[in-house]
Structure 1
Amino acid sequence: MLKISRVGAVNIEHGRFPVGELWEPGFERREQEPDFQAIEPVVVVPGQIVVTSRVQGHAASVVLVVNDREDEAPGPTWALVTSVDYQPVYRGRMAALDTMNGPAGPAAEWLEVFGQWAGPGEPFVDLSPIRTYRAQVWSQGRSDSRERFDAVTQRDEGAARDGFEMYVIAFVPWGTQAAPLPAAEEGRRDRLVRKHGKLPLNMR
C-alpha cells in the first residue's frame, strides 16, 4: 500500500513547520506547544510533528506518504533526517501546514517520490485512527541549505526564498491502538454547572 499526497509548499517561519492532524468536530482539542529548545530535528506533540529547518524563513516543498515498507527511501537523492513515533488523536487526516497560516498551498513543480510523480496541490494524507505509525522524515538539500541560503541573500537581499529544502514525511504503520473517540456530548445542565459552578436557582 502506497498513498502519496500532492506536493505542497510550506511557508517556513522561525525555522520550523508542522505536519498536523486536522481537528474534527466533537473531539477534545489536543493542543500542546512543542519544546522549541529541544535539539532534535523533529519534535512530536499530540496531533503534530514539528520539523526544524536549517533556514529561518523560506518556502519548502513537502509531500506526505503512507508506506507499508519500513526504511524505504523516496529515491536515491533523499537523506533520512530522523524517525519518530506518531499516533492519531482524531480521525487521522494529516496535512503539511504553514508555520502560521494553516494547510500549505500547492508547490510550483512536480516531484518524483517512490518512483511516482506527485503533482502540485494541497498536501493531505489519511492515516488509520486504529493504527500507530513510525514517521520517517526524508529531505533533499538540507545538508547545505543554510550555506546556500546565506550565499544567495548576501549577493541579493531580494532573491527568491524557496527551493533550498524539500521534504517527504512517510508514515509507516507500526502498531495498533483503540480508535480515538469524540467527547460525549455535554448537556445543558452539565454545561451550566461547568461554567458557573452550580445550577441556576430555577433549575435546582
Structure 2
Amino acid sequence: MPEISQVGAVNIEHGHFPVGEMWEPGFERREDEPDFQTDAPVIVVPGQVIVTSRVQEHAAPVVVAVRDQEDDAPGPGWTLVASVDYRPVYTGRMAVLDSLNGPAGPAAGSLEVFGQRAEPGEPFVQLDPARTYRAQVWAQGRSDSRERFDAAIRREEQGGQDGFETYLIAFIPSGMQEPPVPAAGESRRDRLARQHGRPPLNMR
C-alpha cells in the first residue's frame, strides 16, 4: 500500500515549484542553484526536485507519495512528465513548497490517486534517508495548460489562474546509501572554517 500525502495547493511563480527536503538543525544546508536554462521538465539539485510548469503563475493541486512500483499510473488521465534520481541529504522529510513562500497550503478539494482518496491538507511524505529513490512526476492537464491559461486571460475570467495543472510526485526506493548524519557538536567557528577554508578574521 503506497504512502500518500494530503492534497496541497502550490502557488507556482516563475513557472516552477520545488518538492524539497526540510532542513534539520545540525545538517549542513544544501542550497545549490538549479539550472533553469535547461529544457528538462524536472530538475534535481541536492535536497530538491524542481518541477517546471507550462504556466508561468497559477495554483495547482499537488500530492506526493512513496510506493514500491515504478511506471504505474496514478489513475486515468495522468501522464508521466519525467523520472529522475533523488538521494536524501537530511532526514528525508519531503514537502511541496510554494515557489517563494514556504510549504504549500491545503487544496480546495480531494483527489484520488493509486486507488486511494487523498484529502486536502499539508502535502509531505517521509523518505528513508538510508535509501535512494526514483522520483516520478505525473501530471493532469499539462499538455494544453498554457493554451487554456492564455484563453482564460483573453476572456479576463475571474479566478483564471487556478486549475490548469495537477501534479503527483511518487518516490520509489531504488537502492541504498549511507544515511546523512548531522555534524556532532560542530562549533560555528569550525563550520565557517570548513565552509570557507579558514575561520573568519574575528575568530582567528
**Could you say which TM-score interval applies, normalised by the shorter chain?**
over 0.9
Displacement, 1:185?
Answer: 1.9
Which protein has the larger Cα radius of gyration, Structure 1 or Structure 2?
1
Aligned ranges for residues 25-104 of structure 1 at < 5 Å?
25-104=25-104
State the partner residue of 1:148. Answer: 148
Number of residue equivalences: 199
SS of the equivalent of 2:152 reads helix
Displacement, 1:72?
Answer: 1.0
Q: Give the partner amino acid of 1:154.
A: R
Deviations 1:155-174 (A, max 9, x none): 01544311000000000000
Higher strand share: 1
State the partner residue of 1:137. Answer: 137
Alpha carbons of structure 1 residues 187 and 17: separation in structure 2 relative to 1, 3 Å:
closer
Alpha carbons of structure 1 residues 123 and 189: separation in structure 2 relative to 1, 3 Å:
closer
Task: Tell me the TM-score normalized by structure 1.
Answer: 0.93
Displacement, 1:44?
Answer: 0.2
Tell me, yes or no, if structure 1 residue 14 matches structure 2 residue 14.
Answer: yes
The answer on whether the counterparts of 1:8 and 1:123 sit within 8 Å (CA) in structure 2 is yes
Q: Give the partner amino acid of 2:171.
A: F
The answer on whether the counterparts of 2:149 and 2:160 sit within 8 Å (CA) in structure 1 is no
Tell me, yes or no, if structure 1 residue 169 matches structure 2 residue 169.
Answer: yes
Displacement, 1:189?
Answer: 7.0
The answer on whether the counterparts of 1:153 and 1:159 sit within 8 Å (CA) in structure 2 is no
Task: Tell me the TM-score normalized by structure 2.
Answer: 0.93
CA RMSD of aligned residues (A): 1.7
User: Which runs of 5 or more residues in structure 1 are unaligned?
Assistant: 200-204
Alpha carbons of structure 1 residues 177 and 189: separation in structure 2 relative to 1, 3 Å:
closer
SS of the equivalent of 1:150 reads helix
